[in-house]
Every structure is written in C-alpha cells, then in structure tokens.
Amino acid sequence: MNMKPHAAMLFVLGLAVMSPTYAADRKDMMEEKAEARYDASKDSAKHNYEMAKDNCKKMSGNAKDVCMKDAKAAYVEAKSQAKADEKSAKNQAEANEDTMKAQYKAAKERCDSLSGQAKDTCVSEAKHKYQQ
C-alpha cells in the first residue's frame, strides 16, 4: 500500500487547520508591535520632556514660562503622534487581514471551476498563499 498520497493529504489537512490561526496570529503580532512602538515612543517623549523641563529651570521670568509651555506642547504633540501611529498600524493590520480574506475567497472561487485533485491542490495553494 502506497502511503505517500495519505501522508500528503494529512499534510494538506494540517495546513488547512493551522492556517486560520496563522493569519490571526499575524494580525496579533502586528498589533503587539504597534503597541510596543507606542510604548517606546511615549517613553521617549516623557524622557525628552523631562530633559526640556530641566533646561527650562535654568531660565527665569517669562523666558522660563515660555520654555515650559513649549516643552509641554512638544510632549503632547509627541504623545499624540505616537497614539496616531499606533492606531494607524492596528488599522493596517486589520486591513491586511480583510484583504487576505477577500483575495482567498476570490482564489477559492476560481478553484471551483476545477475538480478532483486539481481542485484540492488549487484550494490548498490558495489557503497557503492567503494564509487562511
């Protein structure tokens, strides 16, 4: 009895079971990276703000007041930009996932014109290519 077709079918089934998880994991990974970048940007902004405030303390009068307000404005701007970047990265991860799903559905539909092993291979390749 030839076991190669059976082993190949198990491999294809394994890919089919694992692939949806992979796509979800990829999205989660992209979101985690976005959060890590956000945290690093916030920390950097806080550090820069503290340094700027220390420089302002060397001044006096209105110059000191202006310096402190400028330092605060730069800090708020940096935090706001970091938050916008994080949201953008998370939205991009979601858009990538949506695109992959739509492309997979279109590829799977093209496979419907085939039959037998050719169709199975086509569907398997589509799942792999579009990480479904």
Q: What is the per-residue pLDDT across 99-120, written as a single tens digit (0 to 9) for each?
A: 999 999 999 999 999 999 999 9
Report the C-alpha gap between 32 and 1 in whole angstroms.
48
Report the C-alpha gap between 104 and 97 in whole angstroms.
11
- Judge residue 101's burial from the number of C-beta atoms within 10 Å of its C-beta, 0-12 exposed, 13-18 middle, 19 or more buried: middle
Q: Is the pLDDT of residue 15 over 50?
A: no
Each residue's pLDDT tens digit, 73-108: 999 999 999 999 999 988 998 998 899 999 999 999
| Residues 6 or more apart whose Cβ sits within 8 Å of residue 122 | 107, 110, 111, 114
Q: Is the pLDDT of residue 1 over 60?
A: no
> Model-level pTM greater than 0.85?
no
